[in-house]
């Protein structure tokens, strides 16, 4: 198995993916909640259930696109052999956090 296949296996592992979903959700809940909750509350005419459903749908869709972007950028970053070696030495939880932290500085 070459390095690229092992990196793809490390990124697409279910445990790594679940940890990256959790880490990205924790990172995104504060900015999305801080902006989205007042925007939905004051700008949307509806009952609480409709507002909550709208917030959850918006949060999940933004998190989905954020996570896909993080995975794609991580795959490009792992084409470097040193970065791939460092990544392969991490635990599954650390790999998930590494993937979710990819776009933090942007």
Count: domains in the chain: 1
How far is Cα 53 from Cα 100, in angstroms, rounded to an integer?
25
Answer yes or no: is 45 within a domain. yes
Residue with tokens 């880490």, as numbered in its chain: 23
Contacts of 85 (CB under 8 A, 6+ apart): none
Tens-place pLDDT, residues 67-105: 999 999 999 998 989 988 999 899 999 999 999 998 887
Q: 73 near 102, Cβ under 8 Å?
A: yes
**12 is in which domain, residue-wise?**
3-100
Q: 32 near 62, Cβ under 8 Å?
A: yes
The whole-angstrom distance between residue 10's C-alpha and the CA centroid of its chain comes to 15
Answer yes or no: is 78 within a domain. yes
Q: Residues 5-25: what's their mean pLDDT? A: 81
């Amino acid at each position: 198995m070459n390095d690229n296949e092992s990196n793809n296996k490390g990124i697409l592992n279910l445990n790594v993916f679940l940890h990256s979903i959790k880490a990205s959700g924790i990172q995104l809940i504060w900015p999305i909640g801080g902006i989205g909750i007042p925007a939905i509350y004051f700008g949307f005419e509806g009952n609480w259930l409709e507002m909550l459903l709208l917030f959850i749908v918006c949060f999940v869709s933004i998190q989905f696109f954020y996570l896909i972007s993080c995975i794609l950028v991580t795959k490009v970053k792992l084409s470097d052999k040193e970065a791939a070696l460092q990544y392969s030495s991490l635990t599954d939880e650390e790999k998930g956090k590494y993937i979710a932290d990819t776009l933090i500085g942007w």
